[in-house]
Amino acid sequence: MKKKIGISYTKTLFQNYWNWFTPGDLSAGPGEKDDIELIELSFEKNNTEDIYTCDGFVLTGGVDVHPSLYNGKADYENSPDTFQVPRDTFEEKIYRYSQKNKLPLIGICRGMQLVNVLQGGRLIQDLDNGNERHKKEETDKEHIIIISSGSLLHKIAGSSSGHVNSAHHQAIDPNAIGDNLLVNAYDDDDEKIIEGLEFADKTDKGFMLCVQWHPERIKDKEANPFSENLKQKFLAAVRNTKNGKTLGN
């Protein structure tokens, strides 16, 4: 029986997330009994029933989370022309279901920000017009991150620093981290810019890593531990999930 990874649909470069998982990643290797299938979880299709078939999830990047979810300002610099409230609602179902069933989850860019919000945290709504280091222009920006010693991310990447890409204008509010979340990485030039989150107390929790960068399209991703190692650890966690999941969110 195949394991299934649900990837939340985004109108922004969705295929990159899909292609991040190669045929080799999804096929059972030596000592593995399960192939893995990718499932598109789309707020546009509202295919909620497919959420309940999945064994792991990727929350993708995209348009800003609606500020009403964290009591943010309705009008702010560089806000989108339109939000996607149905997406926020749909992806909250994904997250709640993953947590109820202790299922592996990766949150990428907006995905990390949504997790922080759903855990009761807040966002910096805009890094201002001087955000030359992180905001995407023609291509992603690149910079160095510092990894917190002893964190899950540190164990997975096997490094205390590394190069990642950036394409964002919002960030996690360092004064409003969500409940039971631990900062595991930050920008080497400004430690107030949070680059990664994980659970602080992992007792009775499934695998979860959230990153501000884009591992699915990072340069030389197959050789970059902040992409490849993260992906392989996530795949191993998905293969180790057990049957008997509880439906509903």
Which residues are designated catalytic? 109, 214, 216
Beta carbons within 8 Å of 206's beta carbon, 6+ residues apart:
98, 99, 101, 102, 103, 104, 105, 237, 241
For 144, the enclosing helix (H) or strand (E) is strand 141-147
Nearest CA among 166, 185, 170, 187 for reference residue 70: 170
SS3 (DSSP) at 116: helix
Angle value at C-alpha 207, between 141 and 121, nearest 5 degrees = 65
